[in-house]
Amino acid sequence: MNPIIVFPEFSAFGEIQEREFHNVLTYLTNVPSLSAAGVGFILVIDRRQDRWAAVKGTLLRIAGSFPGNLQLVLVLRPTTLFQRTLSDILFKFNRDEFKMKVPVIMLSSVTELHSYIDQTQLTTELGGTQEYCHEQWISHRTVTNKYTGFALMVKRTAQILQSFGTELAETELPNDIQATANLLRSHTDKKDKMKEDLHVALGQGSRLLESINEPVVRDPDHNRNQGELENLSTVQRLLSQLDETERACDEFWGTHQAKLEQCLQLRHFEHNFREVKRLTAFSEVGINPAHADHIFCDLNSHEEVLDEAQALAREGDELIQSSHYAEDSIQPKCSELRAVNSLSLSLSLSLSLSLSLSLSLFLFLSQAAKWCGDGLYLLASQPVDKCQSHEGAESALQEMERYLDTAGQNKLTDPSSIYSDYKTVLNQDFRKVFQKQVSVQEMFEKRMVSLKKLAAKQTRPVQPVAPRPEAFIKSPLSSPGEPRHITCPYIPSLLTYHQHVMNELLETERGYVEELHCVLQGYASEMDNPAMASLMPAPLQNKKDVLFGNMPEIYTFHKRTFLRELEEYQGCPELVGRCFLLRMTDLQIYEKYCQNKPRSESLWRQCSDCTFFQECQKKLEHKLGLDSYLLKPVQRITKYQLLLKELLKYSKGCEGSEALQEALTSILGILKAVNDSMHLIAITGYDGHLGDLGRLLMQGSFSVWTEHKKGHAKVKDMARFKPMQRHLFLHEKALLFCKRREENGEGYEKAPSYSFKQSLSMSAVGITENAKGDNKKFEVWCNSREEVYIVQAPTTEVKTTWVNEIRKVLTTQLEAYREASQQRSSDGLFQFPPTAGEPVSLGSVI
């Protein structure tokens, strides 16, 4: 038998007003827990004070709307005699009209009702003991409706957020800057609108929770009934769902926003990359004086473009170090930018020198061509009739001799020397001018022989017709007028190629010293100026040494020493290598500057937008910010090797070429030391002093597998199929294994650091040059191969370089060990054989 439930809440239904009846039916229909449990309802309808019309209306409503799990309907009919008699008669006649699917029993009294329902389940007005307040129930239903509305709002909000999440997940990233920015703005607006809706729902839930807790606030001793407890649990659950939904939304949006922002950064990077590539491209340039000024202006502005390329490469590195999703696309562009930057520097220098040579050659050829043209005009202008007399012949001879006296400074005298000095820029104009010069010389010699004969012996006057000067075709090279003026920043004289390189070295050195002076005076000194103190942010105060490093030391060395000594070699540029060799130790101050550069860059990024830097830049009238000038020392030490290469290229076989080669090697060594030191200072976790390990020979990243022996068994690393990524540092006395880690800062703070993992003494290791399975692998082992490190290089060339360097170290140690052994033997000292585990040969090579 189904349990009996009398609505509402285990009490009699009581008297129901018509306006409340619909809510009652809705409630019974939407109680899923009751329906799912198969609970049957017994409906008690009290119509004792009503008329038959009210009873009939109630039964019709029940027949049309009541839920299907209704089991029995008990109706207390009207108590007045007339209405009772009328209800009995009409109910029998109208039973079919009600179409009731459940029994309907008309009861005459409360006592008769007690025979169907226990008194404990009835309210007091029906003779029972169940307490029930109809107004309280109505209030409870009103609150329940609010909860239902809140639940629907939570459901609708969750659906909207889910739809928005689907839209974000299916969004394709645009390919241009504007579309990406518009998409980011559109999605942000939608997110803000949904967050507002979410906060409205949270606000409504909070107010409902306050209304539930209000009775407890008023009366701490108030005991919540079952309905209040259920409502409290429901609201708390819905609020918890909203909080979880908001957290999930924020997390998903954060990921999507970061990806869109990275996409926008990538589009800006790609746009700037294309622009820089376009600006760094060189056009073909010949000997065209009309374009000389324009070309040199382009070369001067090209340096700023190269600075932009280098800055863009650093920006790409920062994107990669920030785990950008398009790392595979950015990395090749950064490499290409650096390659373009390096190549452009070399091409710019070479083009500048070639253009200078071309202009110098053009001016010289123009001068020679003008001399030839003036000579032809002189020959054509001499009146032949007057030359028949002794005085006329003497006058003509003197005129020609005066003209020939100017040949030394205008004529091409040594074609082989000119060809040697200008072979890179010679063209057909040189051959034409030289042939014309030879022809003019022959014409003068013949004319002078004739005039000398006339001067020595008088003959009968002859009246030849002198050719008109206009008969000669006046080309631009043979015109007797003024030569075309060409503005050229170089000396318009016949200079050798290495002299032009020397001029470039001196001019850029003077410019470099002047730039350092401007920076130190316009920025560094202003940091000590009390009038500028209010413009400096707190992080910048007392940080001059951090920002500028040892730039004052670099400036003093170049200003007082290096520039003056370079100027002494201006007349003999092929010997300037001696100057570099003499000051190679002093040039190592750049290593200290580069080691401080990460701290300087971090401080600059932190304070770059401050008013102090803007005011200093404004006073100096600089187009570029301080960060570009802080990069000048790094660029300068790099440019020396380019200039030395150019000098060496055209000084082979000359005196001083060996010094140039040695200087170039030393400068490259300094650059390598600077690069290596930047990696060394990033090593963390090493207990000893890195200086005790000797000179750093090489460093690089490799894939490493390890294996070691336990007893007679060989045990390989658990991760043998997935190698460890290690950065190796090869010193003279040890080989360090470190793990590369990326930092989370900005700029140079994002530079990698290295966690120390393992150290192998070079006096106890051996190598196997060829590991099985891959020509890029080699083995480093110790303790008679009890510990083996299989190292895979990125390329076979890298592997060969490392194997050769390790072999050199082991060979050097072996020779030193043998010499020491021989020395001990000659001193009469007994040498014990090596103990177990001690290497016999201080390293082996297989």
Mean local confidence (pLDDT), 209-234? 81
- The string of pLDDT tens digits covering residues 52-64 is 566 556 665 665 5
- How many beta carbons lie within 10 A of that of residue 240, not counting itself? 11
Give me the percent of the chain exceeding a pLDDT of 70. Answer: 68
Range with top average pLDDT, 126-140, 402-416, 535-549: 535-549
Residue 40 near residue 4, CB atoms below 8 Å: yes
d(CA 438, CA 436): 5
pLDDT of residue 800: 93
User: Which residue would you say has higher pLDDT here, 573 or 427?
Assistant: 573
b/e 507-545 (16+ beta carbons within 10 angstroms → b) = ebbeebbebbeebbebbbebbeeeeeeebbeeebeebbe
User: 3-state SS of 806-825?
Assistant: HHHHHHHHHHHHHHHHHHHH
pLDDT of residue 54: 61
- Weakest mean pLDDT among 62-66, 412-416, 458-462: 458-462
Range with top average pLDDT, 109-123, 469-483, 626-640, 740-754: 626-640
pLDDT of residue 34: 45
Q: Read off the pLDDT band of 5 (50, 70, 90).
A: very low
Q: Read off the pLDDT band of 472 (50, 70, 90).
A: very low
DSSP 8-class letter at 743: -
Mean local confidence (pLDDT), 86-98? 60
Cβ-based neighbours of 85, under 8 Å, separated by 6 or more: none
Q: Read off the pLDDT band of 836 (50, 70, 90).
A: very low
Asked if residue 138 has pLDDT above 80, the reply is no
pLDDT of residue 467: 40
Q: Read off the pLDDT band of 553 (50, 70, 90).
A: very high
pLDDT of residue 115: 83
Q: Read off the pLDDT band of 833 (50, 70, 90).
A: very low
pLDDT of residue 562: 94
- Weakest mean pLDDT among 21-35, 389-403, 426-440, 699-713: 21-35
User: Which residue would you say has higher pLDDT here, 762 or 16?
Assistant: 762
- Weakest mean pLDDT among 225-229, 240-244, 767-771: 225-229
Residue 400 near residue 381, CB atoms below 8 Å: no
Q: Read off the pLDDT band of 12 (50, 70, 90).
A: very low
Range with top average pLDDT, 1-10, 762-771, 822-831: 762-771
- How many beta carbons lie within 10 A of that of residue 26, not counting itself? 14
d(CA 705, CA 772): 13
Residue 280 near residue 343, CB atoms below 8 Å: no
Mean local confidence (pLDDT), 232-244? 85
Asked if residue 65 has pLDDT above 70, the reply is no
Residue count of the chain: 846
d(CA 759, CA 508): 45
pLDDT of residue 460: 46
Mean local confidence (pLDDT), 337-342? 71
- The string of pLDDT tens digits covering residues 742-785 is 665 554 445 678 899 999 999 889 999 888 778 899 999 988 78
Element (H, E) at 735: strand 734-741
Asked if residue 175 has pLDDT above 60, the reply is yes
Report the phi/psi class of residue 100: left, alpha or beta, with left for phi > 0 and alpha for psi in -120 to 50: beta
Q: Read off the pLDDT band of 29 (50, 70, 90).
A: very low
pLDDT of residue 730: 93
Q: Which of 455, 450, 432, 433 is nearest to 379 (CA)?
A: 450
Asked if residue 475 has pLDDT above 50, the reply is no
pLDDT of residue 603: 92
Residue 287 near residue 362, CB atoms below 8 Å: yes
pLDDT of residue 771: 81
pLDDT of residue 825: 66
- Listing DSSP states for 213-224 in one string gives HHHHHH-TTPPP
Q: Read off the pLDDT band of 717 (50, 70, 90).
A: very low
- The string of pLDDT tens digits covering residues 792-822 is 999 999 999 999 999 999 998 888 888 877 7
- Listing DSSP states for 160-218 in one string gives HHHHHHHHHHTPPPPSSHHHHHHHHHHHHHHHHHHHHHHHHHHHHHHHHHHHHHHHHHH
pLDDT of residue 479: 37
Asked if residue 615 has pLDDT above 70, the reply is yes
pLDDT of residue 96: 58
d(CA 11, CA 129): 9
pLDDT of residue 521: 93
Residue 75 near residue 42, CB atoms below 8 Å: no
- How many beta carbons lie within 10 A of that of residue 66, not counting itself? 19
On the CB side of 11, CA atoms within 13 Å amount to: 15
